[in-house]
A and B are shown apart, each in its own frame.
Chain A
Amino acid sequence: MSREWVPFGALAATVILIQLVTMFTNTQYYLTQLIMAALYSIVVIGLCLLMGYAGQISLGHAGFFAIGGYTAAVGTTLNLLPHRDHVLVRMAERAGLTIQTTNSWGVDILYFSPWITLLAALLLSGVISLLIGIPVLRLRGHYLAMATLGFGAIIYYILLGSRFLGEADGIYDVPGFGLPGGFTFDGARNNRVLSYYFVWALVIGLMVLMHNLVNSRPGRALRAIHGNEPAAMAMGVDTARYKLSLFVLSAVCAALGGVFMAHYNGGMGPTEAGTLKAVRYVAIVAVGGMASLWGTLGASVVLNFLSLRGYFGSLDDAVFGVVLITVMLVAPDGILRRLGMYTLRRNRDTAPDAFPVSAEKQVQRGTA
């Protein structure tokens, strides 16, 4: 194994170690929060790429998370039995894309296979992010932040205002996600260990893919855009297209997290699309050091775990507000990175800034 893969091996080992420790200390209930923390991490990893590597802020990723979750939730709770004669339903049934069971109230139901809704969720979030990204990604700074915030708010209000989507209650009774080997990913206690491994395998897989991306041709192009956009264009990088592709990719990641969250929790409510969630994701990426996949994953697991375990009590959202401000005031390039700098190099002057300085602006002004 080359040195490049050591961190991934270490992560996998940690995941296994934690499971073993909880098993021997009889604290398996911690796994529940670790599973949910992993699901939120999937969103944050995508956002980290968008913010840290391409320098584009998004306050709309909670919206994509909800799009994913709601698509899965609606698709797998919609009873198709009354519509059995419809051509599409019949075709889906014949192709084995539906599941028929009896629900907890003893009613026979027929619903789409979670695999189909997963695909639909990824596709839908991809298409929506593409449509929204084309106009919005031409904006910068505040404009981009406000526009993505507005997008998230639209999703929130639609979820809240649509009877079909359960209004404030959201959608519940979402079945588990049946995986090969007869195992189901859901919140049931006896599936917990397997669900834990499944979701962490997903996270590790995603980390590998993103790590590869960062170190590939498109990844370099994206970092170049962040480093100096005019120069990236002059080197032949189609900056608009790259930003858009990354936006779509990160939106699809968010939807992926949402889908499995809906299956794990057995439902989803409109608060998942709320501004506070979106800000939380941004806060985590900021704590992780913006352009650091590992920092972001670490920050995400720690902060989400503490939050989900209820350590912050009623101050939950306030904590994220404080974290956000503190990070931006004392270590805008990330706490972990700053810590790393102190311990490893003790040399702040040569450290790159997370934010290219405004020298750029002066140069552009003086082009005449």
Chain B
Amino acid sequence: MPSRFLRKSRCSVALLEVNDLFRSFGGLRAVDQVSFTVPNGMIKGIIGPNGAGKTTLFNLIAGSLVAESGTIFFDGRPVSGLPPHRIAARGIARTYQNVKIFRQMTVLENVMVGCHQRSRGGFLAGMLRLPFTVREERRVRARSLELLEMLGLPEVADQDASALAFGRQRSVELARALALEPRLILLDEPAAGLNIRETVQLAQTVRSIRDLGITVLIVEHDMSLIMDISDEIVVLDFGRKIAEGTAQQVRRDPEVIRVYLGDEDAEG
């Protein structure tokens, strides 16, 4: 991998800082006063039962939803309220729980869209194929192929992306997100729909992403995967943060145990 992908590790500084984030849908408090920080270079996991507000939290960070109150700081600058493309430009990339691939485009083109922020050519330049866009195009293509290589997809580069198997679509989405050259990547249930072999591979991939200097925030249902790869874990329940800490700490937390194993006394 090219060296420009490696960035100075500043582990002490919080790359992402979420303060008292709140968002409701009708009467439902989907994200309720959630605060946490993600230090640079960390893999941070978010877990919680269904409907705990994990995806809403992601949508708030990525800007596809606007918070009713609370703030989000990325690299020390506020990003709350910015439209998604501006947030992407700041260096936050994401993948989706239900893969959102660009239909009617090849795998390679999908990844090339990811390079959008890192290239310049506009309408006129594109129409006239000015020399600088030709060079840029070559660079973007090479870069995208490199990423496909890294994720084990080089042979399907010219296939229609929406015709791929689900697991491979996930990889395309990941390659696309990496093409953005983000500093933070949000992975929304990347293991959903993957088989065991693919899940093991995924853990490896997530680690190698972190080794590139990219901070990872990951939502996942697969408990063994998340306990295995995360440096720290945030546990959400009904929109509220109920615990935060390392895998060991979280596993021993009585509140977490209650949420996951069910509170027998309360059920009667």
Chain A residues engaging chain B, CB cutoff 8 angstroms: 209-210, 212-213, 216-221, 223-224, 226-228, 230-239, 245-246, 249, 291, 350, 352-353, 356, 359, 363, 367-368
Any A CB within 8 A of the CB of B140: yes
A217 with B102, Cβ < 8 A, contacts A212-B128, A245-B123, A350-B160 known: no
Contact A220 B113 (CB under 8 A): yes
Kindly state the separation between the CA atoms of A234 and B160 in the bound complex, as whole angstroms: 21
The closest CB in chain A to the CB of B162 belongs to A352
Any A CB within 8 A of the CB of B112: yes
A235 with B127, Cβ < 8 A, contacts A220-B105, A227-B103 known: no
Chain B residues engaging chain A, CB cutoff 8 angstroms: 25, 28, 30, 51, 53, 55-56, 59, 62, 64-65, 83-85, 88-89, 93-94, 96, 98, 100-105, 109-110, 112-114, 116-117, 119-123, 125-129, 133, 136-137, 140, 160, 162-163, 176-177, 180
A233 with B85, Cβ < 8 A, contacts A210-B127, A350-B160, A353-B103 known: yes
B32 to chain A, nearest CB (A): 13
Contact A216 B85 (CB under 8 A): no
Kindly state the separation between the CA atoms of A209 and B129 in the bound complex, as whole angstroms: 8
Kindly state the separation between the CA atoms of A220 and B126 in the bound complex, as whole angstroms: 10
Kindly state the separation between the CA atoms of A291 and B136 in the bound complex, as whole angstroms: 25
Partner of B126, one of A217, A233, A238, A368: A217
Partner of B116, one of A221, A227, A228: A221
Chain B residues with CB under 8 Å of A217's CB are 116, 119-122, 126, 133, 136-137, 140
Contact B129 A212 (CB under 8 A): yes
The closest CB in chain A to the CB of B117 belongs to A236
B70 to chain A, nearest CB (A): 17
Partner of B105, one of A227, A237, A367: A227
Kindly state the separation between the CA atoms of A224 and B172 in the bound complex, as whole angstroms: 14
Q: Give the dominant DSSP class at A's interface.
A: helix
B213 to chain A, nearest CB (A): 19
Chain A residues with CB under 8 Å of B120's CB are 217
Chain A residues with CB under 8 Å of B53's CB are 368
Contact B94 A234 (CB under 8 A): yes
Pairs across A and B, CB under 8 Å, 30 listed: A210-B127, A212-B128, A216-B121, A217-B120, A217-B122, A218-B126, A220-B105, A220-B112, A220-B116, A224-B102, A230-B84, A231-B101, A231-B102, A236-B85, A236-B89, A236-B117, A236-B180, A237-B85, A239-B85, A246-B123, A352-B160, A363-B96, A363-B98, A363-B100, A367-B65, A368-B28, A368-B30, A368-B51, A368-B53, A368-B56
The closest CB in chain B to the CB of A249 belongs to B123
Contact A234 B62 (CB under 8 A): yes
Contact B85 A350 (CB under 8 A): no
A307 to chain B, nearest CB (A): 30
Contact B104 A368 (CB under 8 A): no
A223 with B126, Cβ < 8 A, contacts A235-B180, A237-B113 known: no
Output the residue of A216, A352, A359 with the most chain B CB within 10 A.
A216
Chain B residues with CB under 8 Å of A209's CB are 127-128
Output the residue of A239, A352, A368 with the most chain B CB within 10 A.
A368
B29 to chain A, nearest CB (A): 10
Contact B126 A224 (CB under 8 A): no
The closest CB in chain B to the CB of A333 belongs to B104
Contact A233 B89 (CB under 8 A): no
The closest CB in chain A to the CB of B64 belongs to A230
B129 to chain A, nearest CB (A): 5
A209 to chain B, nearest CB (A): 4
Chain A residues with CB under 8 Å of B30's CB are 368
Chain B residues with CB under 8 Å of A233's CB are 64, 83-85, 88
Contact A227 B55 (CB under 8 A): no
Contact A350 B133 (CB under 8 A): no
The closest CB in chain B to the CB of A228 belongs to B100
Kindly state the separation between the CA atoms of A70 and B237 in the bound complex, as whole angstroms: 64
Contact A367 B56 (CB under 8 A): yes
Kindly state the separation between the CA atoms of A227 and B113 in the bound complex, as whole angstroms: 11
Contact B127 A213 (CB under 8 A): yes
The closest CB in chain B to the CB of A364 belongs to B64
Closest CB pairs A-B (n = 7): A216-B126, A227-B102, A236-B88, A231-B100, A236-B117, A233-B84, A209-B127
Kindly state the separation between the CA atoms of A232 and B180 in the bound complex, as whole angstroms: 12
B175 to chain A, nearest CB (A): 12
Chain A residues with CB under 8 Å of B109's CB are 220, 223
Chain B residues with CB under 8 Å of A235's CB are 85, 88, 93, 113-114, 116-117, 176-177, 180
Chain B residues with CB under 8 Å of A368's CB are 25, 28, 30, 51, 53, 55-56
Chain B residues with CB under 8 Å of A224's CB are 102, 105, 110, 113
Contacts A217-B133, A235-B93 supplied; 20 other A-B pairs, CB < 8 Å: A210-B127, A212-B128, A216-B133, A217-B121, A217-B136, A226-B104, A227-B103, A233-B84, A234-B62, A234-B85, A235-B88, A235-B113, A236-B88, A249-B123, A350-B160, A350-B163, A356-B103, A363-B96, A367-B56, A368-B30
